[in-house]
Structure 1
């Protein structure tokens, strides 16, 4: 489940609220051990997602770096190339 959490810091444009919430959902799913909470746990699950989303936004807003911002398309191409090499997908063009 957690492998879907992506690096959100130091991108241009900055991470969107949707990206931050998606990472929070993945985190809460991993920690809780479930992708869908029961009705009895739904409120706690949703509150945890809200809290993790908020603290993640605070973290991202507070981080400082001297590195130049990364380009999302370049990073996605690198990830596709790594996946093609790792999984040996014939015919996969990493560019």
Structure 2
């Protein structure tokens, strides 16, 4: 799984459309092996990003949980600590 794709479910506040689109873009980039598609492939690439974003939004809107929402700032702090441990940065 692409490390830059963040978990978007059960956050407070809920995932924005921009976050969903960014995750979709990263997913399509990973699958296609291309960060910048050629002009010949741009339309197909853009359609794929839109389709993945729509499916992601539908999924997020339909999932249910009894767990309390996760705090974004707390999750960001945890991710920063993991990165510091992994890469030895402060």
TM, length-normalised to structure 1: 0.91
Runs of 4+ deviating beyond 6 Å? none
Q: Which residue does the alignment assign to 2:73?
A: 73
Instruction: Tell me the C-alpha RMSD between the 2 structures.
Output: 1.1
**Which is worse superposed, 37-46 or 1-10?**
1-10
Aligned match of 1:11: 11
Offset at residue 71 of structure 1 (A): 0.4
- The structural deviation recorded for 1:79 is 0.8
Deviations 1:7-31 (A, max 9, x none): 0000010000000000000000000
The answer to whether structure 1 residue 40 and structure 2 residue 37 are counterparts is no
Question: What whole-Å deviation, never above 9, does each CA across 1:18-62 have from its counterpart, x for those lacking one?
Answer: 000000000000000100000000000000000000000000000
* Structure label with greater radius of gyration: 1
The runs of 5 or more residues in structure 1 that have no matched partner are none
Tell me the TM-score normalised to structure 2 length.
0.96
Bigger relative CO (Cα 8 Å, ≥ 6 apart): 2
